[in-house]
Amino acid sequence: MKPFRTLVAMALGLIMATPSLAAETLRPQHLLTGAIDRSHDELSGQWTYSKDLYRTGLTDINGWVAKSRMQRYRDIDVAAVEAKGGVDFFEFDMDRGPRMTIPGAWNAAEPELRYYDGLIWFQRKFTPKDLKGGRAFLRFEAVNYHAHVYLNGEKIGEHEGGYTPFSFEVTDKLRAGENRLTVGVDSEHGPQTIPTGITDWDIYGGIIRPVRLIYTPQTYIDDAVIELTTDGRLKGTAKLDGPQAAGQTVNVTVSGLAVKLSATTDANGYARFDAKAPRNLKKWSPETPTLYDVSFATSSDRLDDRVGLRTIEVDGDRILLNGKSIFLRGVSLHEEEFGPNPARNMTEQASRALLSEIKYGMNGNYVRLSHYPHSDVTVRMADELGLLVWSEIPVYWTVDWENPNVLLKARTMLAEMIYRDRNRASVIMWSVGNETPVTDSRNAFHSALADTVRDIDPSRLISAALLVEGRTENGQTTIFINDPLVDKLDVMAVNTYAGWYGSNTLEELPSLRWEVPAGKPVVLSEFGADALAGLREGDGIRGKYTEDFQAEYYRQTLKMVDNIPQLRGMSPWILKDFQSLRREHPVIQNGWNRKGLVSETGVRKLAFDVMANYYKAKAAETPK
Ligand code: GCB
């Protein structure tokens, strides 16, 4: 009998041996690319809900089938049955339940739900349009963390993973008139979830992004991508879904460009385009974020998207955007809107406020969307404003590295993230993990993730936020990367907190030496220090937690990292104070991680200007 670890390694080997097939099997059955621009009914708004901490609506004691009087998803008018009398009784009534506005996390909705972590049932009714021979899909942009979905009392599917979209076809399940949609949302995380229950951010359970009923023709364009390649071509694919998917002509037009792209779908519904990019094409960049209206059309369907066209690659230890070396002037960001009680409801307004502070306030050109895929509203806003994006999945700190099911979950999340955002010019880098300690099983896990990314999207860069080590010899401290995962990455990223965590003083920072493997670009994915906005040196506290300390920490850290020759960018931790259940200092934190360069309501701290000035100077330099 082979040890478990060997079996896992063999399973990983198998996955890696058949990459394209593997990527194809990870493709969600219905992608509905560009969902926001399709014909749809918005199902956001008021939903009723019912708490179910003991999960009585899912299973009864001893694992028996849930009692019908507990099944919140039943297609039943409880009040009407009660009015008739009889033996039946109920321990729920979704129609008369309390209401919550969807989308939005429940912790912000009601004080009694502030720290609720478990199952809550949500329900709403809706009346669909006449399908007129077409098809309909229920599309969820994100449900955190595990969704159990029922339509008119019938289960239509489940989804695990709190930050990526999923869709179920309901063409034959809708009825004329009123339909009843019920979603059980379980926020609980455990050893086999991604992330596990141990993070540095808040619970944010709920239907956190919009829900829509999407209408398509019988045969429709499920997915369409277009990109500019480094050899100056416009390439793309479209995938049709439906009975007439094969042998169809797909025509692509790009607003304002005289380019003719046309192809016929193969037996599996795929069409592939390839043409020389016209000379007058304006490339997308942070300075000129040109977006083109691209439309993909067949005889029965048309899919529109606003797309930027640019190239991204590494050349030795440089990152090239449109063939030119670039320095990433960024900051990290959690998905949390400004304000004292965020609900993770990323409206355009909320997202614009955050990203504008980076772009115009801080003189930035880049944002690390940490630690999970953010709303597509945010990514589209980055396209519009001109911010480059690092996007990642929450393979964070601890994950069950040896469990093949967990690996499959991570690969599925990667696929769902990448397939959603392949048309976003802003996204230049996919990250496969954050601060995961080096072990054989972790290395194999991450390596499989890197292969998955390369397989699905070879056009973008791969990175991971790595841990660094330190060594002191003859009084000289050296920080170094000792991680075999580096071989799989295009860009090495490191998190460093010397001067905040650990025993280094701020004065020592500039003398710390960095030793990084040659030949690849390095970015600092994190560095930072806590400060309570308004707290100054001398206010009854000295050093850590004051704005003065944080600003000095930034000055000294910047001096230190300026000595790294391959440094190609940074995303200090973090734009805004964010809610975290690890942070309970009663005077300073009260549930907030205070490493923001601005407070939770947007008040800038002293360190904000340190970064803004540093980036202003960087923007004026020509990158090496
Ligand atoms: C880290 C983590 C980040 C934390 C941060 C901190 O290294 O990647 O999620 O919030 O440190 O504040 O300690």
**Tens-digit pLDDT profile for residues 296-323:** 999 999 999 999 999 999 999 999 999 9
The fraction of the chain above a pLDDT of 90, given in percent, is 93
Span 551-579, mean pLDDT?
96
Beta carbon of 431 within 6 Å of any ligand 1 atom? no
| 314-351 core/surface letters (b: 16 or more CB in 10 A; e: else) | beebbbbbbeeebbbbbbbbbbbbbeeebbbbbeeebb
Q: Where in the chain is the domain with CATH 2.60.120.260?
A: 31-216
Residue 20, pLDDT score: 58
Rounded Cα–Cα distance for residues 457 and 385 (Å): 24
Task: Look at residue 511 and tell me whether its pLDDT is greater than 50.
Answer: yes
> Given pLDDT bands bounded at 50, 70 and 90, which one contains residue 473?
very high
> Given pLDDT bands bounded at 50, 70 and 90, which one contains residue 540?
confident
Span 205-223, mean pLDDT?
98
Span 329-340, mean pLDDT?
98
Contact (Cβ atoms closer than 8 angstroms) between residue 93 and residue 79: yes
Beta carbon of 549 within 6 Å of any ligand 1 atom? no
> Given pLDDT bands bounded at 50, 70 and 90, which one contains residue 21?
low
Using the mean position of ligand 1's atoms as its centre, give its distance from the Cα of residue 493 in Å: 14
Span 402-431, mean pLDDT?
98
Task: Look at residue 429 and tell me whether its pLDDT is greater than 60.
Answer: yes
The fraction of the chain above a pLDDT of 70, given in percent, is 96
Span 7-36, mean pLDDT?
66
Span 275-284, mean pLDDT?
97
Best residue among 199, 200, 576, 583 to mutate for probing ligand 1's pocket (most ligand atoms within 8 Å of CB) is: 200
Beta carbon of 223 within 6 Å of any ligand 1 atom? no
Rounded Cα–Cα distance for residues 345 and 338 (Å): 11
Angle at 550 between CA 546 and CA 552, to 5 degrees: 115
Closest CA to 320 of 285, 276, 287: 285
Rounded Cα–Cα distance for residues 143 and 162 (Å): 5
Rounded Cα–Cα distance for residues 545 and 606 (Å): 12
| CATH architecture observed for domain 233-310 | Sandwich (2.60)
Q: Where in the chain is the domain with CATH 3.20.20.80?
A: 332-532+564-572+605-620
Options 3.30.450.40, 3.40.50.300, 3.20.20.80, 3.40.640.10; which CATH number does 332-532+564-572+605-620 get? 3.20.20.80
Mean pLDDT, the chain, integer:
95
> Given pLDDT bands bounded at 50, 70 and 90, which one contains residue 22?
low
Task: Look at residue 1 and tell me whether its pLDDT is greater than 90.
Answer: no
Task: Look at residue 13 and tell me whether its pLDDT is greater than 90.
Answer: no
Residues 6+ apart with CB under 8 A from 225: 33, 236, 237, 238, 422, 423
The pLDDT tens digits for 592-603 are 999 999 999 999
> What CATH topology corresponds to 31-216?
Jelly Rolls (2.60.120)
Q: Where in the chain is the domain with CATH 2.60.40.10?
A: 233-310
> Given pLDDT bands bounded at 50, 70 and 90, which one contains residue 23?
confident
> Given pLDDT bands bounded at 50, 70 and 90, which one contains residue 18?
very low
Rounded Cα–Cα distance for residues 295 and 307 (Å): 10
Looking at the CA of residue 500, tell me the nearest atom of ligand 1: 13
The pLDDT tens digits for 92-122 are 999 999 999 999 999 999 999 999 999 999 9
Beta carbon of 527 within 6 Å of any ligand 1 atom? no
Beta carbon of 583 within 6 Å of any ligand 1 atom? no
Contact (Cβ atoms closer than 8 angstroms) between residue 574 and residue 332: yes
Using the mean position of ligand 1's atoms as its centre, give its distance from the Cα of residue 397 in Å: 10
Beta carbon of 121 within 6 Å of any ligand 1 atom? no
Span 377-401, mean pLDDT?
98
Span 221-243, mean pLDDT?
97
Residue 624, pLDDT score: 81
Beta carbon of 609 within 6 Å of any ligand 1 atom? no
